[in-house]
């Protein structure tokens, strides 16, 4: 019985995937309509999973508070903030003054702080890279970073001659070439993963 | 729509579908070849060898593995990397379900969160120890990139994590996760489909999965025929692309193109 259930689930996933894929390439009206209908289902499902995601977030933090785990206080703050935000946005509306106040005075400063921390961490680790394993590639990495930074800033209007051109060349030629090489690999990997899911040999769901 | 427009659409469709069908057939042929061989040949990726060792060590020492699936969902191009992460998640659980501290998976999107829990539950069901299953081992730690990073930091810092696997879609925020792992003394394995995250990952960890290596976990950790076959198919197409680029470059230099 379980085997049958698994086979049905896999069959649904495979058929749905094939319809969406073929419908993307071949513009037959029947296929196109079927594909659009399936994509609408997917959009609704994704919206519902957002709610499931919030419920899961609450479950995880509630459990942390219940078990008195370390950082439980932060979980409590998170749950209270979540509740207050839901009440405010639900009562006044998402574009109302109180909702926008929360967004501008709490969410944006927190996100900006995180980016500020990230900047410090990146600088610190860039230096640590040289300490960790000083080799030709780490040196090349750091020199490239310096050239690109120095090439994009000026000191009191003064620029080191040729540096801007060198920086532009680095970002537009070797960097773009390397990035495209990596992206081609990523694209091939994505296709292979998609094919395995379509063939039912890789199942990121159930058994 | 005139006749030429229609012809263009049909032509584009046939090209795309043709590529997918060729990919499919090469994958099937590779699978047949892999199945016939006693020991399939795959090139060594040191990061995966290190990861396998680290998984065994984590089970023995009762430490936790953390798999971060990133903040991409399955409804976009970024879904591929999350699916690759989910495939690794099942394998990790099959290897470590008896550990004192089962692995924890974090995701930054609802669908991936549900799929991660479903994947974990399916492994417990498969091995017949459903009573051991903890729903919170597959958790959504934030629903947009920044909160996801902040929520995942807590998991790395608070949950006795010994191996930190970052496999999915990230922005430069991956730096904070890798740094937290390093401060805890974890082995950090990072792979992303995002170029910025790859560049940042290079600075933070020696165990970086570059490009398509991110999608190869199934061929190295508890390998299956189809995963090894898809790796060979990727290599086949990569050589094809290299040949096309070289030929096109030569033709351009010769003034033909």
Q: Which whole number is the average pLDDT over B79-84?
A: 86
In this prediction, residue B3 carries a pLDDT of: 58
What are the CA-CA distances from residue B26 to residues A65, A125, A189, A201, B81 (Å)? Answer: 52, 43, 14, 16, 22
Cα separation of B13 and A205, whole Å? 30
Query: What are the residue ranges of helices labelled H in B37-144?
Result: 46-61, 79-96, 110-126
In this prediction, residue B25 carries a pLDDT of: 94
Cα of B7 to nearest chain A Cα, Å: 11
Vertex A73 angle, CA B173 and B156, to 5° = 35
Same domain, A18 and A57: yes
Residues of chain B neighbouring A73 (CB-CB closer than 8 A): none
In this prediction, residue B203 carries a pLDDT of: 84
Domain assignment present for A59:
yes
Cα separation of A183 and B196, whole Å? 12
Same domain, A34 and A84: yes
Low-confidence ranges of chain A (pLDDT < 50): none
In this prediction, residue B30 carries a pLDDT of: 93
Q: Which range marks the domain in which residue A101 is found?
A: 97-131
Domain assignment present for A149:
no
The last residue of a domain, from among A81, A105, A131: A131
Which of A186, A194, A203 should one mutate to test binding to chain B, selecting the residue with the greatest count of B CBs within 10 A?
A186
Task: Let me know: does B82 contact B166? Beta carbons within 8 Å.
Answer: no
Report the chain B residue with the minimal C-alpha distance to residue A78.
Answer: B151
Residue of B139 and B6 predicted with greater confidence: B139
Same domain, A69 and A114: no
The overall pTM is greater than 0.90: no
Residues of chain B neighbouring A126 (CB-CB closer than 8 A): 203
pLDDT band at B190 (very low <50, low <70, confident <90, very high): very high
Residue from the list B16, B150, B212 with its beta carbon closest to the beta carbon of A114: B150
The last residue of a domain, from among A92, A113, A147: A92
Same domain, A75 and A104: no
Same domain, A35 and A83: yes
Same domain, A20 and A79: yes
In this prediction, residue A207 carries a pLDDT of: 66
The last residue of a domain, from among A63, A92, A121: A92
Of all residues in chain B, the percent with pLDDT exceeding 90 is 35
Same domain, A68 and A102: no
Q: Does A43 lie at the interface with B, CB-CB under 8 angstroms? A: yes
Residue of B51 and A129 predicted with greater confidence: B51
Of all residues in chain B, the percent with pLDDT exceeding 70 is 95
In this prediction, residue B4 carries a pLDDT of: 60
Q: B228-252: string of b/e by CB count within 10 Å (b at 16+)?
A: bbbbbbbebbbeeeeeeeeeeeeee
Query: What are the residue ranges of helices labelled H in A93-135?
Result: 97-102, 108-132
Cα separation of B166 and B188, whole Å? 7
In this prediction, residue A181 carries a pLDDT of: 92
Task: Let me know: does B203 contact A169? Beta carbons within 8 Å.
Answer: no
Domain assignment present for A193:
no
Report the chain B residue with the minimal C-alpha distance to residue A138.
Answer: B203
Which of B1, B110, B208 should one mutate to test binding to chain A, selecting the residue with the greatest count of A CBs within 10 A?
B110
State the complex-level ipTM: 0.88
Q: What is the DSSP string of A51-70?
A: HHHHHHHHHHHHHHHHTT-T
Tens-digit pLDDT profile for residues B136-186: 888 998 888 888 998 899 889 888 888 999 999 998 889 999 989 888 888
In this prediction, residue A150 carries a pLDDT of: 87
Cα of A172 to nearest chain B Cα, Å: 15
In this prediction, residue A84 carries a pLDDT of: 94
Domain assignment present for A36:
yes
Same domain, A24 and A5: yes
Domain assignment present for A164:
no
Residues of chain B neighbouring A206 (CB-CB closer than 8 A): 118-119, 121-122
Average pLDDT of the residues of chain B:
87
CB pair distance less than 8 Å for B125 and A71: no
Same domain, A80 and A104: no
Cα separation of A120 and B64, whole Å? 28
Same domain, A111 and A72: no
Query: At the topology level of CATH, where does B46-222 sit?
Result: Rossmann fold (3.40.50)
How many CB atoms neighbour CB A10 within 10 A? 18
Task: Let me know: does B53 contact B186? Beta carbons within 8 Å.
Answer: no
In this prediction, residue A55 carries a pLDDT of: 92
Tens-digit pLDDT profile for residues A99-121: 999 999 998 998 888 889 988 88
Residues of chain B neighbouring A195 (CB-CB closer than 8 A): 20, 23-24, 27, 230
In this prediction, residue B205 carries a pLDDT of: 86
Cα of B60 to nearest chain A Cα, Å: 24
Q: A28-52: string of b/e by CB count within 10 Å (b at 16+)?
A: eeebeebbeebeeeeeeeeeebbeb
In this prediction, residue B33 carries a pLDDT of: 92
Q: Which whole number is the average pLDDT over B196-202?
A: 88
Interface of A with B in 127-166 (CB under 8 A): 129, 132-133, 141
pLDDT band at B2 (very low <50, low <70, confident <90, very high): low
Cα of A190 to nearest chain B Cα, Å: 5
Report the chain B residue with the minimal C-alpha distance to residue A55.
Answer: B140
Number of domains in chain A: 2
Q: Is residue B7 scored above 60 in pLDDT?
A: no
CB pair distance less than 8 Å for B172 and A114: no
């Amino acid at each position: 019985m379980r085997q049958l259930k698994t086979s049905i689930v896999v069959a649904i996933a495979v058929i749905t995937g094939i319809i969406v894929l073929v419908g993307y390439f071949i513009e037959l009206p029947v296929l196109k309509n079927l594909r659009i209908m399936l994509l609408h289902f997917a959009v609704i499902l994704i919206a519902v999973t957002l709610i499931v995601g919030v419920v899961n977030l609450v479950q995880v933090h509630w459990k942390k508070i219940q078990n008195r785990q370390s950082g439980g206080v932060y979980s409590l703050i998170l749950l209270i903030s979540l509740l207050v935000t839901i009440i405010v946005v639900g009562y006044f509306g998402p574009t109302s003054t109180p909702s926008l106040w929360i967004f501008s005075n709490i969410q944006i400063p927190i996100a900006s702080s995180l980016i500020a921390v990230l900047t410090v961490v990146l600088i610190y680790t860039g230096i640590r890279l040289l300490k960790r394993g000083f080799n030709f590639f780490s040196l090349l990495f750091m020199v490239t970073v310096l050239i690109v930074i120095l090439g994009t800033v000026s000191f009191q209007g003064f620029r080191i001659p040729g540096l801007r051109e060198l920086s532009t060349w680095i970002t537009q030629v070797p960097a773009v070439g390397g990035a495209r090489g990596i992206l081609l690999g990523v694209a091939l990997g994505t296709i292979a993963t998609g094919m395995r899911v379509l063939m039912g040999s890789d199942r990121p769901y159930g058994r | 729509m005139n006749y030429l427009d229609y012809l263009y659409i049909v032509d584009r469709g046939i090209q795309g579908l043709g590529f997918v069908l060729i990919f499919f057939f090469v994958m099937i042929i590779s699978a047949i070849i892999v199945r016939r061989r006693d020991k399939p040949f795959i090139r060594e990726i040191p990061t995966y060898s290190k990861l396998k060792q680290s998984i065994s060590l984590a089970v023995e020492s009762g430490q936790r593995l953390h798999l971060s699936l990133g903040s991409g969902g399955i409804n976009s191009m970024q879904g591929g990397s999350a699916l690759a992460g989910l495939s690794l998640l099942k394998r990790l659980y099959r290897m470590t379900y008896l550990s004192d501290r089962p692995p924890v998976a974090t995701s930054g999107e609802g669908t991936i969160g549900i799929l991660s829990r479903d994947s974990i539950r399916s492994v417990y069901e498969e091995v017949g120890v459903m009573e051991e299953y903890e729903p919170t081992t597959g958790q959504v730690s934030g629903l947009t990139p920044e909160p996801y990073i902040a929520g995942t930091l807590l998991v790395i810092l608070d949950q006795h994590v010994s191996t930190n696997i970052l496999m999915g879609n990230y922005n430069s925020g991956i730096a904070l996760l890798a740094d937290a792992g390093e401060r805890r003394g974890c082995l950090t394995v990072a792979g992303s489909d995002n170029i910025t995250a790859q560049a940042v990952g290079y600075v933070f960890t020696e165990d970086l999965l570059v490009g398509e290596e991110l999608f190869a976990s199934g061929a190295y950790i508890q390998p299956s025929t189809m995963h090894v076959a898809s790796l060979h198919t990727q290599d086949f197409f990569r050589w094809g692309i290299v040949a096309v680029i070289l030929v096109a470059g030569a033709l351009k230099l010769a003034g033909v193109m």
